[in-house]
Structure 1
């Protein structure tokens, strides 16, 4: 009888926790909202959901931002720092921004187009993971070209200072956390903040490569010089070794993970940091800059959104978009891993066979799919060498 009473008590506690989780992390239904203009200038705040005091904002205004993932910045982008690597949080502007002067002028009426690097991240889409990669890429071109990255909507926490308001009219735009919403999220950033005449170098990692191909298809007028695809997951994701494991987890069992996520989110950041270091302990040359964004991911909301996006990846990333690749073949560089469980070597051989004239490379240095953990600088130097000639001839 004691065992039965204990079990009954445990079940009641579990149900209470689960109800709390459902109220905090709504399943798949997303009520989209718009965001008014808010003063958000570049600061040293991180996109891992922390401000200088390490405070997390779990108010209703945060939920408004998470539902839309869109924000506009007060002021002109061209006024930002030209050399300092800066982090700016919130919506489409979440990102590491280096040298944000996107136009040079010979006189007041004649803008001279420049070249901007835009990084489309993997999943989780937190730009803090790519700090070392972006710093290296920025420095290799003498800090002349802006290097930007945009977090995926809902994958990081905005600053507490942002004023959020609801706008029911935005609901018609659909699921902002899903794969399609993330693609539109990046296109919206370009439309709102990058002049149409600006030349673009797109760099994608993992699912970010799929996002780039979709951007090319949906807006063929983008002035893209090069698109570098690092460890691309652009086809048959559910059939990959990792996909076979993660598809049932992400598509059918991800709600089970909400309870441990909720419990982890209650821990102090110091304890979260210790747990992250323990998990990453086996990586001997770990880039320490990835620790803080990983801790931020344990806020719960961000991880839930990342898992939801991952579930859609398993369902929607099916056949390779050969037509878009054909139309942009001269602009594309593919870099496949030799030990990548998300994009097996067979996929490299398949695309190499189908596009013999394409610039399609196989990693010979043993980089892992999540290269940002220990090889961000090396990959940054490598990408810079690949595209140096294209930028030199401008």
Structure 2
């Protein structure tokens, strides 16, 4: 009788740490090395706990179960560390003290931290491309045994993933970006709306004292209040409390957000080149490696509206791909509950048309295309005196911005079974929010698992 894998008897995920940051680990539930190792990079505020239901569903997916190992690494200084020192992932106490004081937690620091995670994984599971002949597990990599290291990412974690790719191109076998904010963050609706919150004085003047008071309140009393105010599940509400009461965590998250606004602008040329090399189908190397991006439909996502999505698709030459109809039907049958954590409400859509709102000043400044159907448009005046116009447009209507390059990607959609292209973009047809991890992890897990199995297990 084959021995029972140790991981199958453990309660997963394992709460651990990596180089001074909270982490969650799902060991491979088999006696052999995994076929796929998924390193997940969160968005901001960057707590891996938010993604536990989603990643647990990926781990348990029938197409991946027993073949996958997962490590989700929080951003340094954004989450509490588990007690004690993990010998597997290194000492953390001194690093935790520094991060609580706002040291080594910049956006660039967080990227270096994720590069260290890639190096640690490849030390355990070497790649043939790195010239390794053995690993800490006593395995000799072959075409069948080599572990595929895939970067999963969400929001600004996708920007970090592209930076990791530039630093370690030979270590990565695939990248899966969920609602990626990799261009023009400051000019998104949410970026414009929240820019004052990301100023250094916001934490000092508005948040420091309330957060100090919250840190003194027992979690048992905070939990029902946070759950009620945010309508989050118990797991998400506990994670939100961890963020609020961890010394320096909110300040570090806001500081990193401020850096994102300033640094993540137009698509960088070295990013385009890195992804082109990564996904190129060269005759001497065979099929290119996959870069998959998943977006919200239209302007549902306040961080990645349609014009930013179109720009990213054009800049990275992403081919639009529809998920299989059977997968879409399966997703549509899952029970879903509304959440106020969504970045913006989904626009109504009837017979392929939806409501589009824009300010009169925006229209006059040339930030919108000519709007069809002005005969039925409605104009209202806000309390600020600004005039807002509402009209109906086609679902595929996209706003444009006057000072960005007007590059438009092909409108054609490919079938997901088309293997000629490994750089693809898929758009949500069931209204998943940018903050999917709070309420809709199971749906996203089905989508992620589909691509992981298709790209790396040949399913």
TM (norm. structure 1) is: 0.70
1: CA distance, partners of 2:31 / 2:118: 14
5 Å-filtered alignment, 1:50-61, equals none
1:118 is matched with 39
1:326 is paired with a residue whose SS is helix
1:331 is matched with 290
1:86 maps onto 2:13 in alignment: yes
1:248–1:270 distance in 2 versus 1, CA, 3 Å:
same
1:159–1:307 distance in 2 versus 1, CA, 3 Å:
same
2: CA distance, partners of 1:392 / 1:91: 28
**Which residue of 155, 164, 174 corresponds with 1:215?**
164
**Which residue of 449, 452, 456 corresponds with 1:384?**
449
Number of matched residues?
A: 300
2:398 is matched with none
Q: Is the 8 A contact 1:102 1:194 kept in 2?
A: no
Q: Is the 8 A contact 1:91 1:153 kept in 2?
A: no
**Which residue of 209, 224, 239 corresponds with 1:259?**
209
1:306 maps onto 2:253 in alignment: yes
2: CA distance, partners of 1:322 / 1:214: 11
1: CA distance, partners of 2:34 / 2:67: 13
Instruction: Report the Cα offset of residue 139 of structure 1.
Output: 1.0
2: CA distance, partners of 1:139 / 1:247: 39
2: CA distance, partners of 1:319 / 1:248: 21
2:151 is matched with 202
The C-alpha deviation readout for 1:21-62, integer Å capped at 9, x for no partner, is xxxxxxxxxxxxxxxxxxxxxxxxxxxxxxxxxxxxxxxxxx
2: CA distance, partners of 1:229 / 1:125: 15
Q: Is the 8 A contact 2:36 2:148 kept in 1?
A: yes
Q: 5+ unaligned residues in a row in structure 2: which ranges?
A: 86-90, 128-146, 280-288, 320-422
1:333–1:166 distance in 2 versus 1, CA, 3 Å:
closer
1:113–1:271 distance in 2 versus 1, CA, 3 Å:
closer
Instruction: Report the Cα offset of residue 356 of structure 1.
Output: 4.9
CA RMSD of aligned residues (A): 2.7
Instruction: Report the Cα offset of residue 347 of structure 1.
Output: 1.3
1:156 maps onto 2:221 in alignment: no
Based on CA coordinates, which of the two structures has the bigger radius of gyration? 2
Q: Is the 8 A contact 1:83 1:99 kept in 2?
A: no
2: CA distance, partners of 1:88 / 1:220: 29
1:275 maps onto 2:340 in alignment: no
1:164–1:325 distance in 2 versus 1, CA, 3 Å:
closer
5 Å-filtered alignment, 1:53-72, equals none
2:187 is matched with 239
1:373 is matched with 438
The C-alpha deviation readout for 1:336-376, integer Å capped at 9, x for no partner, is 11211111111122233341543111111111110011100
Instruction: Report the Cα offset of residue 125 of structure 1.
Output: 1.2
Q: Is the 8 A contact 2:59 2:69 kept in 1?
A: yes
1: CA distance, partners of 2:237 / 2:113: 26
The C-alpha deviation readout for 1:149-204, integer Å capped at 9, x for no partner, is 0111111112333476659xx99xx9520111001111112223433324212110
1:328 is paired with a residue whose SS is helix
More moved, 321-330 vs 115-124: 321-330
Q: Is the 8 A contact 1:287 1:372 kept in 2?
A: no
Q: Which has the higher helix share?
A: 1
